Amino acid sequence: MAAVGGPIESVSIRGRLFPVAADADATRKLGGFENEVQPNGDGSARMVKSRIAWMVDGLSLAIDHDRADQEFLKEIADGKDWVPITVTYASGHTYQGKGTVSGEFGANSQNATAPVTLSGPGELTQQ
């Protein structure tokens, strides 16, 4: 089977479904660990593992003012709890995790989208 690329089709945040702009090229980090190799004076090296959060960056979510989508996303960002998030790709694959809206975001009036970064603890897992 060939590798299938394409846009993220939709994102569900705490049960609310958001379509994603077809031209958005998102980057996914599954979480877990990042490794750094630190050399020793004798030519050997040490592996230093740092735990990292999962993240999906580069999303451009469709914003519907009638549903108060921007206010909903702000409520998630302002909250203190991790919420269920699922990300569905054009290939049909879905990833899920608990997380939040991270970083800055604002709604664009011209194209009714908002650039959003989602991240959370643990790992983003394929369903």
**pLDDT at residue number 5:** 84
Residue 14 has pLDDT above 80, yes or no: yes
Q: What pTM did the predictor assign?
A: 0.89
Domain ranges within the chain, ordered by starting residue: 8-126
CATH of 8-126, one of 2.40.30, 2.60.40, 1.10.10, 3.30.70: 2.40.30
Integer Cα distance of 45 and 6 in angstroms: 39
pLDDT on residue 1:
64
Question: How many other C-beta atoms lie within 10 A of the C-beta of residue 3?
Answer: 5
